[in-house]
Amino acid sequence: MEDRVVEDVKASFPDDVLEIDVQRRGRVSISVKRDRIYDVGLFLRDKLGFDHIASVSGVDYIDKKEFEVVYHAWSIDKKILAALRTRIPRDNPVLKSLVDVWEGALYHERETWEMFGIKFEGHPNLSLLLLPEDWEGIPPLRKDFILPKRPQE
Amino acid sequence: MLSKVRERLMNIKFLRRILNWGRAWSLWSVHLETGCCGPEDMGRACARFDTERFGTLPFPTLRECDLLFITGLVTKKMAKRVRMIYDQMPDPKYVIAIGECAATGGFYWDSYSVVQGVDRVIPVDVYVPGCPPRPEAWIQGIKMLQEKIKKEGIDEK
Amino acid sequence: MKLSMGPQHPVTSHFRFILDVDGDAVLNFEWDVGYTHRGIEKMAENRIYIQNIPVVERINSYCDAIGTTLGYVEVVEELTGIEIPERAKYLRVIAAELNRIASHLYAVSLVGISAGFETMLMWTINDRELILDLLVKLSGQRITYTYPTIGGVRWDMPDGFKEDALKRLDYLEKRLEDYYKMMAWNRTFQMRFKNVGILKPSDAVKLGIVGPNLRASGVKADVRKDEPYEVYDRFDFEVPTGKNGDSFDRASMRLKEIEQSIVILRQALKDIPKGPIKGSPKGSKIPPTAPRGEAYSRVESARGEFGYYLVSDGKSKPYRLKISTPSFRNLPALPHLCRNVPLGDIPVIFITFDYIPLDVDR
Amino acid sequence: MVLSILRPFFLGLYHVFKRTFTVKHPYETLKPPERHRGRVMLNMDRCIGCNSCVNICPNKALTLVEFNGRKLPQYNAGRCCFCVLCVDICPVLALSMTHEVEYSVYKKEDHIYPPDRFSQPPEPIKGKIVTVKTLDKKFGVKHG
């Protein structure tokens, strides 16, 4: 089952998929180019049935000066979790929003925006969700955000 | 004029004791949950531990309440609202800080959005430790607050 | 007119809704969450793996702490390759199902109180206390158990636990009849909850709804069946689904799930094998170091599916821990449903989704 | 239809005559089980001051202080979350959990337990100790 997903994606996007592998049973990881993530997402949803969005996570690779954005989508029929990932530069963190593909990604992307500062183009409402209204400073989940020190008594 | 009469009357120890006794046994609590001690709030208010025996009834309207339970952590976003709610409550008002997060920030000593102790926002009368405290500890907190109220305005000599 | 509900409100607790109302009709619904945002994902990067167990537990320590910790523990075990013994797996299942019952009883109590059934609140909370007694016996705490650990569980079953548990489950099963009589079969209750807030299955999947709310819409999706973790594949149980996906289905779904949990618990208590409870005594005491890599674990907690995405860079602390929580994933449901509904229906729709603020905000 | 409305009414009425579920706490107390996680207690004679409990504590509730020329942990009950990682990791079994849960204070500073106070055993439970005795759907739950 997982191998067929890999083959289908490879056949449809031969140039855009950078890396694709089966991590274990029920886990497929697809790494794509930044500007093609929307098309691959649409293909995963419509052709392969990955219609249930599980999470959108950002990872800050500060050494490589890159952000990685990972969309986890679950297929209810196939029972496979696909991780659709792409890397974007840290100084220009812009990515096309996948809200049109998975409507459930609305709040996930909003959270990723406020925690990492990754702008999602085409997202209807990029405003603070969890942080206090008067939040200032760099987004908290970036690696260069410094946490308070150990309390003294 | 009226307030002066009231003050005079309250200086009489006997009357003061009656007033304090009345206050101590009718502590209605505001229905405000700020953190994970919320379900224990239900646990202590429902039949098994039943804090209504001590006059502590959870009540939805804060204008008629005199006790505020801070159930757990208080974030910076919530802190403003906690202050607002505290200001809206009629005098006299009392605060019990439940759990270690309300007392010192507890777990969230390195968190960027948690207030390190609710006493930075509002005055606290009793600290109840635990994560979350068992209902027995809540009852002890209420009892301790009652003791405190009973001594109010009476000089200890 | 804009109307603001919460955060000091008997129904909404830590949330605030911003409602666009025209007379009695709600035109638009907007969330204002984040009143309990603690930044647990950032804090997890500052702590070693074993210290993170009690920390991630506080995401959902409101009710379903075992389900929460189980997901975290599993993702670390997957990355480090630690095997856990059979008995520990069974104990995890027992604790998780007991916790699921406690959590659902809590949810039913909230449903009851939001509809004005104070009797329901008292009954369910009382019976929840009996289940909590069992969990206290097992782990020592009422709500925050910290029971599963990396490589097993922390304590074995105490003497007499099995008999006590079976006795209490029998009692609970009988009590469920009363709940049905009082709530689900009650005409007044049905009139309040039926045909309110209908969520179609296609919409539920599209919006990414999880857990009992998704199953109430008629979609059969349960991690315990789809991707059995621990020993769930050995038990014979059903996944109840609803028909209409309205508030009544969502509310009575919790009662049906309690029934199935009792079925699982009886089997687990009967089959539990003898043996050690920790993989290696070292593994659970000394914090492990995960190798470089990543893993994603899925766990069905009482409110739905937990997803833990762990990225490790080979050090003793996680590089990134993303927690995808059920209540956060259920967030898009309310703005979708609360359009052109009467204002009085908002608490009913809201409470049947069983949101936990701490779970949303993390 | 009328039945479905009347049935819950009579069911509720029936429960009025059942046993009360309340544990009258200051006079009766639920029996704390073996693993009951109350305040942590230190055995001063055993402690070697190895710092491992201080390192493992996720809340920073324990700190090492000088006491009578020894290094012993000081406990802050206002920070402790009762995860018992310190009891698990202690190599000489110097730390243990007690049944004590009632130690509320008026002032935050009183939550700090220096080693001598930290090693004092808890007060015995005052009221009558009860457990759930009978479970019966007909008559309700009895504590005793």
Substitution target in C42, C60, C62, C356 with the highest count of B β-carbons within 10 Å is C62
Chain centroid offset of residue C322 CA: 18
- Better-predicted residue by pLDDT, D142 or A56: A56
Distance CA C6, CA B81 (A): 10
Residue B92, burial from CB neighbour count under 10 angstroms (0-12, 13-18, 19+): exposed
Contact of B104 with chain A, judged by CB distance below 8 Å, is answered with yes
Average pLDDT over residues A102-125: 86
Chain centroid offset of residue C289 CA: 29
Contacts of C178 (CB under 8 A, 6+ apart): C123, D11, D137
Q: Which CATH number fits the domain that encloses residue C151?
A: 1.10.645.10
C96 occurs within a structural domain: yes
The tokens describing B149, both together, are 């109220």
Nearest-by-Cβ selection for A132 from B77, B105, B109: B77
Buried b (16+ CB within 10 A) or exposed e, B106-120: bbbbbbbbbbbbbbe
Domain spanning A2-121 has what CATH number? 3.30.460.80
Buried b (16+ CB within 10 A) or exposed e, A70-88: bbbbbbbebebbbbbbbbb
> How far B7 CA sits from the closest chain D CA (Å)?
27
- How high is the mean pLDDT of chain D? 83
CA dihedral (C226, C227, C232, C233) positive or negative: positive
Distance CA C56, CA C47 (A): 11
Q: According to the model, what pLDDT value does residue B157 have? A: 46
- How high is the mean pLDDT of chain A? 84
CB pairs under 8 A between C and D: 81
Q: According to the model, what pLDDT value does residue C12 have? A: 73
Q: Are C221 and A54 inside 8 Å of each other by CB?
A: no
DSSP B51: G
Residue A61, burial from CB neighbour count under 10 angstroms (0-12, 13-18, 19+): middle
Average pLDDT over residues A44-57: 86
Average pLDDT over residues A17-43: 84
Domains of chain B: 28-150 (3.40.50.12280)
Q: Are D82 and C144 inside 8 Å of each other by CB?
A: yes
Radius of gyration in angstroms for the set of CA atoms belonging to chain D, rounded to a whole number: 22
Amino acid at C317: K
Radius of gyration in angstroms for the set of CA atoms belonging to chain A, rounded to a whole number: 17
Contacts of C47 in chain D (CB under 8 A): 58
Distance CA D131, CA D134 (A): 9
Length of chain C: 362
Nearest-by-Cβ selection for C143 from B40, B47, B108: B40
Amino acid at C148: P
C147 occurs within a structural domain: yes
Q: According to the model, what pLDDT value does residue C19 have? A: 85
ipTM: 0.87
C300 occurs within a structural domain: yes
Number of alpha carbons in the 13 Å side-chain half-sphere of residue C263: 14
Q: According to the model, what pLDDT value does residue C283 have? A: 46
Q: Check: CB of residue C268 under 8 Å from CB of residue C234.
A: no
Substitution target in B77, B122, B138 with the highest count of C β-carbons within 10 Å is B77
Contacts of C36 in chain B (CB under 8 A): 34-35, 73, 75, 78
Nearest CA in chain C to B44: C125
C20 occurs within a structural domain: no
Q: Check: CB of residue A104 under 8 Å from CB of residue C207.
A: yes
Nearest-by-Cβ selection for D102 from B127, B131, B137: B137
In this structure, how many other beta carbons lie within 10 angstroms of the beta carbon of residue A119?
Answer: 15
Average pLDDT over residues D18-29: 82
Domains of chain D: 18-143 (3.30.70.3270)
Average pLDDT over residues B72-78: 85
B21, pLDDT greater than 50: yes
Average pLDDT over residues B62-81: 85
In this structure, how many other beta carbons lie within 10 angstroms of the beta carbon of residue A64?
Answer: 11
B155, pLDDT greater than 70: no
Distance CA C101, CA C121 (A): 15
Contacts of C76 (CB under 8 A, 6+ apart): C49, C82, C150, C288, C290, C310
Residue C131's domain comprises 39-361
Contact of D32 with chain B, judged by CB distance below 8 Å, is answered with no
pLDDT tens for chain C, residues 1 to 362: 888 887 777 777 778 888 888 888 888 888 888 888 888 888 888 888 888 888 888 887 777 888 888 888 888 888 888 888 888 888 888 888 988 898 898 888 888 888 777 888 888 888 888 888 888 888 888 888 888 888 888 888 888 888 888 888 888 888 888 888 887 788 888 888 888 888 888 888 888 888 888 888 888 888 888 888 888 888 888 888 888 888 888 888 888 889 988 998 888 888 888 888 776 655 455 556 778 888 888 888 888 888 889 888 888 888 888 888 888 888 888 888 888 888 888 888 888 888 888 888 87
Average pLDDT over residues B18-46: 83
Backbone φ and ψ of A140, nearest 5°: -70, -30
> A116: alpha, beta or left, given left = phi > 0 and alpha = psi -120 to 50?
alpha
Nearest CA in chain C to A83: C296
C33 occurs within a structural domain: no
Domain borders along chain A are: 2-121
Q: Are D88 and C178 inside 8 Å of each other by CB?
A: no
